[in-house]
Amino acid sequence: MVGDSILDSGYSWRRLMLSLAISIVGNVGMWAVIVVLPSMQAEFGLARADSTIPYTLTMAGFALGNGLIGRVVDRFGITWALTGAALAQGLGFLAAAIFPGFWGVTFLHLAVGLGAAACFGPLIADVSLWFLRRRGIAVALIASGNYLSGAIWPVVLSGVLAEGGWRAVYTIMGWAILAVVIPGAIFLRRRLPEEAMATSDAASSARARATGFSPNMLTILLGLAGIGCCVAMSMPQVHIVAFCVDLGYGPAVGGQMLSLMLLGGVASRILSGLVADRIGGVMTLLIGSVAQTLALVLYLPSDGLMSLYVVSTVFGLSQGGIVPSYAVIVREYLPAREAGSRVGIVIMTTIIGMALGGWLSGWIYDVSGSYFLAFVNGIAWNLMNVGIILLILMRTRRASMVPA
């Protein structure tokens, strides 16, 4: 009874707020390299595709971290995971800031991405354990830390980038991560009581039996969908700054559009969390995926300054709730004891999609000379994602209609 009462409690919400603060700082590793991409490209004299390799390795480390660190959270708790990850990310930033060669800087982004990973999927999984009735909005809020990080830091650091270059940006971020994430992690030492975990597992087991999918098959399908949606999602998020530079608007305008896009994503994530608590994660994911496809189509005719601001806002509002919906679905249908690893695996596939999409869009740009075909490529991948989610939804409804 005591364990059950901790779910959705005041302590749960306080833990969520602290986790959100940690997430805003700790997720900067995913966004910093996007903001400094033109500066790094100019310093090292790179082609556009080559300049995205640090981002690709960041996302590779981010994907690997989400897949592996979740197991650490399941076994030892979130505190140890966050502490080790903060050391990897913070020291990775500081080392990259002083390393002279491009390839040395590039490979240090693996450590940056690995460290940032603990502040996304594993932290989402930890927060989800403490909620049952309000899990959708709780997951949406903690997942918003990733977008708030991307919305806040590019604007805050734009002056530093203009005055001191990307190396000064990396130095500041390295120290900020060490100073905030490690102390914050100490206050998250408490583990979920066994009674509360049993209550959560009872609810997820009942849903899982109704779907007709095995846990592994559902994980595979969600992973494939995650790759598809995030190849599409990465096109605007990774290349919006470079896109604006090409159009003559400059990196500052691109940074503003990225911040606007991500702030729209925060609103979308919160709304999707409220919706998921009412209609479930699968339907919420489908709505977000269809909306993202439509937003990508709107980018095709847009090259004016005002139209790009509008479309970037629409894109943010359409796609922000997609990734948190995967975590909600995992927690709705799979055991709480596997939350860290299962959420981590699915989030890992979405990051693989982001990494692949970031590089693929740069390669298409180098081949074609513009981003038009890169947007078309993103639309095609997103249609694959929509098809998979429709398959899951139809199979789930069909299974629920079969008499016991």
Q: Where are the domains of the chain?
A: 2-401
CB 379 within 8 A of CB 232: yes
Give me the half-sphere count of Cα atoms (radius 13 Å) on the Cβ side of residue 242.
28
Write out the chain in H/E/C secondary structure: CHHHHCCCCHHHHHHHHHHHHHHHHHCHHHHHHHHCHHHHHHHHCCCHHHHCHHHHHHHHHHHHHHHHHHHHHHHHCHHHHHHHHHHHHHHHHHHHHHCCCHHHHHHHHHHHHHHHHCCCHHHHHHHHHCCCCCHHHHHHHHHHHHHHHHHHHHHHHHHHHHHHHHHHHHHHHHHHHHHHHHHHHHCCCCCCCHHHHHHHHHHHHHHHHHHCCCHHHHHHHHHHHHHHHHHHHHHHHHHHHHHHHHCCCCHHHHHHHHHHHHHHHHHHHHHHHHHHHHHCHHHHHHHHHHHHHHHHHHHCCCCCHHHHHHHHHHHHHHHCCHHHHHHHHHHHHCCHHHHHHHHHHHHHHHHHHHHHHHHHHHHHHHHHCCCHHHHHHHHHHHHHHHHHHHHHHHHHHHHHHCCC
Rounded average pLDDT over 175-191:
92
CB 162 within 8 A of CB 78: no
For the chain, give the mean pLDDT. Answer: 83
Q: How confident is the model at residue 367 (pLDDT cuts 50, 70, 90)?
A: confident
What is the reported pTM? 0.76
Q: How confident is the model at residue 403 (pLDDT cuts 50, 70, 90)?
A: very low
Choice among 105-119, 135-149, 247-261 with the minimum mean pLDDT: 247-261
CB 35 within 8 A of CB 161: yes
State phi, psi for 7 to the nearest 5 degrees. -70, 135
Burial (CB count within 10 angstroms: exposed 0-12, middle 13-18, buried 19+), residue 210: middle
pLDDT at 76 exceeding the cut of 90: no
Q: Which single residue is written with the structure tokens 């500052």?
A: 252
Class of domain 2-401: mainly alpha
Rounded average pLDDT over 128-140:
86
State phi, psi for 208 to the nearest 5 degrees. -60, -40
Rounded average pLDDT over 339-362:
84
Whole-number pLDDT of residue 402: 47
Question: Which distant-in-sequence residues (6+ apart) come within 8 Å of 10 by Cβ?
Answer: none
Highest mean pLDDT among 48-62, 167-181, 185-199, 213-227: 167-181
Two tokens, residue 23: 């997430």
Whole-number pLDDT of residue 91: 94
Residue with the larger pLDDT of the pair 47 and 125: 125
Question: Which distant-in-sequence residues (6+ apart) come within 8 Å of 256 by Cβ?
Answer: 155
20-67 confidence digits (pLDDT tens): 999 999 998 877 887 887 788 887 887 766 777 888 888 788 888 888
Q: How far apart are CA 286 and CA 293, in angstroms?
A: 11
pLDDT at 211 exceeding the cut of 70: no
Give, in order, the Cα–Cα distances in Å from 346 to each of 8, 184, 326, 331, 334: 24, 26, 7, 11, 12
Q: How far apart are CA 360 and CA 373, in angstroms?
A: 11
Whole-number pLDDT of residue 23: 93
Give, in order, the Cα–Cα distances in Å from 166 to each of 241, 268, 279: 14, 30, 44
Helices 121-129 and 53-76 pack at an angle, to 10 degrees, of: 30
Smallest CA-to-CA distance from 267 within 222, 324, 331, 307 is with 324
Rounded average pLDDT over 365-385:
87
Q: How confident is the model at residue 208 (pLDDT cuts 50, 70, 90)?
A: low
Indicate the Cα dihedral angle 263, 250, 37, 152, nearest 10°.
Answer: -30
Indicate the Cα dihedral angle 201, 85, 113, 64, nearest 10°.
Answer: -50
Residue with the larger pLDDT of the pair 345 and 158: 345
